[in-house]
Amino acid sequence: MHIPDGFLSAAAVGTTYVISAGGVANAVRVARGKIGEKHIPLMGILAAFVFAAQMLNFPIAGGTSGHIIGAALVAILLGPWAAVIIMSVVLIAQSFIFQDGGLLALGANIFNMGIIASFGSYYLYRLINSLLGNNRRGKLVAGFVAAWGSVLLASIACALELALSGVSPMAVVLPAMGGVYALIGIGEGFITIAVLSMVMSTRADLLKLQRI
Amino acid sequence: MKHSFIDRYSDRDSLIHRLDPRSKLVMTLAFIAAIVLTPAGSWLVYSLYFVIIATMVLLSKVPISYILRQSLVIIPFVLLVAVFIPFFKEGDVAFGFNIWAWHLSFTHNGLQLLWSILAKSWLSILSLILLTSTTGFASLLKGLERLRMPRVMVMLLSFMYRYIFLLTDEIMRMKQARDSRNLGGKRLRQISTVGNMIGTLFIRSYERGERVYAAMVSRGFDGQSRTLDRLRFSPLDIYFIACISLVLVCINLFNLYW
């Protein structure tokens, strides 16, 4: 879902850069307010964790494989603003190191996979968790829907940006991308609940961390 | 440790390597912006940009095969986004076919747009590869910091860079252990194994973060990073910036009035 350079119009590049810069600046302010200067080493190392976790491929269907984005996992464990910081650091490094996602498209990519995916999944998780009750089953179902939703919401944002940039009509790109990523998101959901249930049974205290 | 997958060839010596990271960053950004803003179908302009990049690659002494290979690794991901483009654009139909219940038609306009976007993406990717294979990540960060990127982001990025190698090694070790135990079974079982690996890595990373912070605080960390700053513009940078800007302006004037 990383948008390369060349797809977005100047207006889309400018708008998403402004929104993402504001979002990341606020995320840093919130993190500093809540855990002080500790956020720098902790978020930096957890960004390296997301980067390494994205290197693990798992089978999807028909011989294809995929990897997780990780925004939902981090948002559920550490809170949405922490996820915004971690994902934007990961995306900046991916753009520079692997050219995965363009330099001018960085604002849009941080907006989709950082801000939209983090906040979308965090609130989906909270909502479903409170509906189903705060037990193991409630947490796992909420985790699955949140992770699936984070991928779907990010892809919808991506499709809207492409459509508004005039590269593809809305009626085509929105259902096509949404449909494809609704399927891909199932993998993200399963991995996320596998991680959550593992953390729950070995270090349940990590699920009660202060959310940022 | 597998170091070589990040900023490979950045420790070599050439005219391009010796440039200040700030001038390389700014010029790469300007160059990519010029590429992206070029209208669709300006094939002459695209080839001129390609000539400039090729000249830089030759000057940088980075192996051409490496740069080409790196850029081709990304192309499938570009195509993944690009597949949504050529349908249903207004214009003459180039060819159409039926898949199941849908009739898909590719128009000349749509195809023209698709090829232009692919060319622009590829050119941008080439310039980014040239930037990272001639500039080490540490000096890139120093350049970004001097270009007023917020200090916190620079510190976060440098922490991440430091621990990428360690955590990648850790996940590779887990992968080796998993593969040597002959992972099989149903897909759900495989997924839960991957989940356990990621969970283990998360717990270890979180604990490592706490230990690192404790070690830093006990050495007097107060949220600031202090580094020696040895960045210096040389005459080489001035020639470089002047040349690239002049060429970019000329190409764009030419494109506007011809």
Instruction: Report which of B240, B234, B232 is spatially closest to residue B31, judged by C-alpha positions.
Output: B240
pLDDT value of position A9: 87
Per domain, the residue ranges of chain B are 15-96+104-146+230-257, 151-218
pLDDT per residue as tens digits for the range A82-121 = 899 999 999 998 888 888 888 899 999 999 999 999 999 9
Q: Is residue A3 less than 8 Å (CB to CB) from chain B?
A: yes
Residue A74 lies in a domain: yes
* Cα B204 from Cα B200, distance rounded (Å): 6
In contact, A84 and A112? CB cutoff 8 Å: no
Instruction: Indicate the residue of A32, A192, A198 with minimum beta-carbon distance to B196.
Output: A198
Distance from CA of B223 to the nearest CA of A (A): 5
Q: What is the pLDDT of residues B154-174, one digit of tens each?
A: 888 988 888 888 888 888 888
Whole-number Cα distances in Å, A205 to A45, A56, A77, B128: 19, 25, 11, 42
Residue A89 covered by a domain: yes
* B159 to chain A, closest Cα gap in Å: 5
- Segment 13-32 of chain B within 8 Å of chain A by CB: 28-29, 32
Average pLDDT, chain A: 87
User: CA A85, CA A35: separation in Å to the nearest integer?
Assistant: 14
| Chain B residue with minimum CA distance to A190 | B191
Contact B157 A40 (CB under 8 A): no
Q: What is the pLDDT of chain B when averaged over all its residues?
A: 82
Check if the beta carbon of residue B53 is closer than 8 Å to that of residue B133.
no
pLDDT: which is higher, B224 or B41:
B41
Cα–Cα distance between A7 and A167 in angstroms, integer?
7
Give the rounded percent of residues in chain B with a pLDDT score beyond 70.
86
Structural domains of chain A, count? 1
Q: Could you say which residues from 62 to 121 on chain A have a Cβ atom under 8 Å away from some Cβ of chain B?
A: 68, 73, 77, 85, 88-90, 92-93, 95-100, 102-104
pLDDT tens string B127-158:
999 998 888 888 888 888 888 888 888 888 98
Lowest mean pLDDT among A45-59, B105-119, B206-220: B105-119
CATH number of the domain that A40 lies in? 1.10.1760.20
* pLDDT score of B97 more than 80: no
Average pLDDT over every residue of B92-102 = 56
Chain B residues inside the 8 Å CB shell of A192: 195
Residue B108 pLDDT > 90: no
For residue B216, the distance in angstroms to the closest alpha carbon of chain A comes to 9
Task: State mean pLDDT over A52-64.
Answer: 74
Predicted ipTM? 0.86
Q: Is the pLDDT of residue B101 over 90?
A: no
pLDDT of res. B127 = 92
In this structure, what token pair is assigned to residue A151?
């991928």
Indicate the residue type of A158.
C
Is residue A173 one of the residues assigned to a domain?
Answer: yes
Q: Which residue of A has its CA nearest to B190?
A: A58
Contacts of B89 (CB under 8 A, 6+ apart): A169, B107, B109, B110, B113
* pLDDT for A144: 93
Query: Residue B10: its pLDDT value, please?
Result: 79
Q: From the centroid of its chain, how far is CA A166? A: 25
Q: With an 8 Å Cβ cutoff, is B50 touching chain A?
A: no
Question: So what's the pLDDT on residue A156?
Answer: 93
> How does DSSP assign B158-214, residue by residue?
HHHHHHHHHHHHHHHHHHHHHHHT---S-HHHHHHHHHHHHHHHHHHHHHHHHHHHH
User: Does A1 map to a domain?
Assistant: no
Mean pLDDT of B226-240: 81
What percent of chain B has a predicted confidence (pLDDT) above 90?
12
pLDDT at B103 over 60: no
Write out chain A residues lying below 8 Å of B210, CB-based: 42
State yes or no: pLDDT of B224 exceeds 80: no
Label each residue of B37-71 as H, E or C: HCCCCCHHHHHHHHHHHHHHHHHHCCCHHHHHHHH
**Does residue A154 register a pLDDT over 90?**
yes
pLDDT, residue B4, reads: 58
Q: Check if A160 contacts B (Cβ < 8 Å).
A: no
Check whether B249 has a pLDDT greater than 80.
Answer: yes
- What is the length of chain A? 212
Identify all chain B residues contacting A4, using CB atoms and an 8 Å cutoff: 74, 77-78, 81, 121, 124-125
Range of the domain at A21: 10-208
Of B44 and B88, the structure prediction assigns the larger pLDDT to B44
Chain A residue numbers touching B36 (CB-CB < 8 A): 5-6, 8, 10, 13, 104
Query: Could you say which of B119, B190, B200 has the minimum Cβ distance to residue A58?
Result: B190
Q: Which residue of A has its CA nearest to B8?
A: A97
Query: A134 in a domain, yes or no?
Result: yes
pLDDT over 90 at A149, yes or no? yes
In a domain, A3, yes or no: no
Rounded to 10°, the helix A80-98/B108-134 angle is 90
Average the pLDDT over each of A86-90, A153-157, B9-13 and give the range with the smallest value.
B9-13
Q: What is the mean pLDDT of residues A46-62?
A: 80
Banded model confidence at residue B53, pLDDT cuts 50, 70, 90: very high
> Per the CB < 8 Å rule, is A58 touching B191?
yes
Asked whether residue A110 is assigned to any structural domain, the reply reads yes
Average pLDDT over residues A132-152: 90
A25 part of a folded domain: yes
Least confident span in A114-123, A167-176, B241-250: A167-176
